[in-house]
Structure 1
């Protein structure tokens, strides 16, 4: 669990802090003191105002990688100063599993290719249902450091902005990260249910795309071919004349036709839903032995973890 964080300042890549300093200069207006605020050289000394500016700038593009990085499930994270309460209010939006089983043909969150594997919506042409979890986190004023006098007129100090960002990251991680542990299933072998559901739904979608029909093997005495439940058919088994499938291979394909795959996937998805609802162990966030054995049938797939084995 200790490896998962909602937010972190990127210190692994050279030049990120310098790029953040450049953004501070570019967006200096975010730190301009308003009437009645303590100020020095035109820059606010109010901890709340200063922290808001530091966080806003950290969220702006500062090159690749960004200065403040976030977990792939974190879709958005903003801070504002509510009129009806003291301190700051952070609003963090997380990508979450749908609370209900999606109908056939509907898609949920997808993971982008690349290092951060950010959650993203499928293409617009697909029916899509997206669930999010919005966390509203009050941040008391006394957790924020006080900025010091600006060393250059009209420019916020980089080390003061750094201190504000570190305080916000620390406070938000304390609140948001436990939700990520729960969503990811960490602390109990990793996000096995989510991974398993992804494998099953992918197989089901492939079978449905293939027509979802019954296939039948016609033995050699009758033509040695596969017949489909519909207008399609193949007159020979294989891809070309010198690479034909053996009859036993064709029989295996027919036994695992799209209709069979859809039925099996629907049964496995129902088992997943049943365990999430009625299994005390799974409902508590730790996949039970039955679910682990079910998942082991997909252990040759990318993403399988050895610690999920029973």
Structure 2
């Protein structure tokens, strides 16, 4: 994706277009001609009907790997013919910044990690204020390409579906992208850092999960009959760890690894989570007095705690102590 775009077609990865073609065959019923529509080979030749089917197949059935991808702020995007509207309509829902400063202890949309792109609501047990922006975009059917005769009876042509998607993506980007630039550009509201607690909790919880997966045990760097070695417990240990070009782990590096073993990481994470809970509590009794001030959230303690994770993806310089 080049620059800020609301939507783009994921044709750059190997096999994505072929998978989209497979879904076109499975969802062939979406392209069956309605009464009074032009058709050939059992497939509609109506540009709008064909484009709506192409969009549905590209965004719905392939939830794990959609052929049309979208900006993280896009929560939902549908192209359809609503009964109450005079013509076809695209409805795009965006995760919008809060229009007002959130009081201390309140959370807004939180950005997910790289593995799960997009914005998500915090857990229900936390006080949350979410703002959405719904854009209703009338679609101009005359700008859509006319599909060609189906090469196989009842099956839409992949290149026709591709052309329809390109037309829809171009039309929607022209309308939706300016809103995204307003939200995420330099002129966007700075906010009160309400996403900091959620981001920090994600970092700490991820560290703890990795440590638990690694065995949750204490590691030792010690001297035994075989020499200096890293002991992982239960008879697991290494005497030398290769890096690249034959470079071996040095003693001071092995000691550093042992000092930050899974048991140590879990203990640290649990302590940090308890501290974080004092600044993002479910009840008012334990709330940090500074965080309770609407103009002070997040407080200095929370900023300093998060500063230790400043090298992680998602860190914002505005959270600096």
Same-fold call, TM cutoff 0.5: yes
- Asked if 2 retains the 8 angstrom alpha-carbon contact of 1:87 and 1:141, the reply is no
Counterpart in the other structure of 2:80: 80
Structure 1 residues 27 and 3, CA gap change in structure 2 (3 angstroms): same
Matched, 1:136 2:136: yes
Secondary structure, counterpart of 2:163 in structure 1? helix
Matches of residues 167-206 of structure 1 in structure 2 within 5 Å?
167-184=167-184, 186=185, 188=186, 193-194=190-191, 196-199=193-196
Counterpart in the other structure of 1:46: 46
Q: TM-score, normalised by structure 1?
A: 0.63
Distance in 2, matches of 1:66 and 1:111, equals 19
Distance in 2, matches of 1:2 and 1:179, equals 17
Counterpart in the other structure of 1:270: 295
Displacement of 1:90? 0.3
- Asked if 1 retains the 8 angstrom alpha-carbon contact of 2:74 and 2:95, the reply is yes
Distance in 1, matches of 2:192 and 2:9, equals 28
- CA deviations over 1:178-224 (Å, ceiling 9, x no partner): 1011111x2x38x6825844337878xxxxxxxxxxxxxxxxxxxxx
Structure 1 residues 121 and 266, CA gap change in structure 2 (3 angstroms): same
Distance in 1, matches of 2:318 and 2:100, equals 28
The answer to which of 59-68 and 89-98 deviates more is 59-68
Distance in 2, matches of 1:19 and 1:54, equals 13
Q: Which runs of 5+ in 2 are unaligned?
A: 201-277, 280-284, 298-302
Counterpart in the other structure of 1:4: 4
Secondary structure, counterpart of 1:182 in structure 2? helix
Counterpart in the other structure of 1:237: none
Displacement of 1:127? 3.0
Displacement of 1:87? 4.5
Distance in 1, matches of 2:105 and 2:169, equals 39
Counterpart in the other structure of 2:70: 70
Structure 1 residues 200 and 32, CA gap change in structure 2 (3 angstroms): closer
- Pairwise CA RMSD of aligned residues? 3.7
Displacement of 1:42? 0.8
Distance in 1, matches of 2:104 and 2:117, equals 25
Displacement of 1:33? 0.3
Counterpart in the other structure of 1:113: 113
Counterpart in the other structure of 2:205: none
Displacement of 1:8? 0.5
Distance in 2, matches of 1:306 and 1:112, equals 18
Q: Which runs of 5+ in 1 are unaligned?
A: 204-256, 273-293
Structure 1 residues 149 and 84, CA gap change in structure 2 (3 angstroms): same
Distance in 2, matches of 1:60 and 1:30, equals 12
Counterpart in the other structure of 1:218: none
Counterpart in the other structure of 2:57: 57
Distance in 1, matches of 2:64 and 2:141, equals 31
Counterpart in the other structure of 1:148: 148
- Asked if 2 retains the 8 angstrom alpha-carbon contact of 1:19 and 1:63, the reply is no
Displacement of 1:106? 3.2
Distance in 2, matches of 1:196 and 1:84, equals 41
Report the number of matched residues.
Answer: 231
The answer to which of 151-160 and 86-95 deviates more is 86-95
Counterpart in the other structure of 2:16: 16
- Asked if 2 retains the 8 angstrom alpha-carbon contact of 1:200 and 1:265, the reply is no
List structure 1 segments (4+ residues) > 6 angstroms apart after TM superposition.
Answer: 200-203, 297-300, 305-309
Considering Cα pairs closer than 8 Å and 6+ residues apart, tell me whether 1 or 2 has the greater RCO: 2
The answer to which of 1-10 and 21-30 deviates more is 1-10
Counterpart in the other structure of 2:29: 29
Distance in 2, matches of 1:47 and 1:84, equals 21
Distance in 1, matches of 2:38 and 2:307, equals 61
Secondary structure, counterpart of 1:153 in structure 2? coil
Secondary structure, counterpart of 2:148 in structure 1? coil
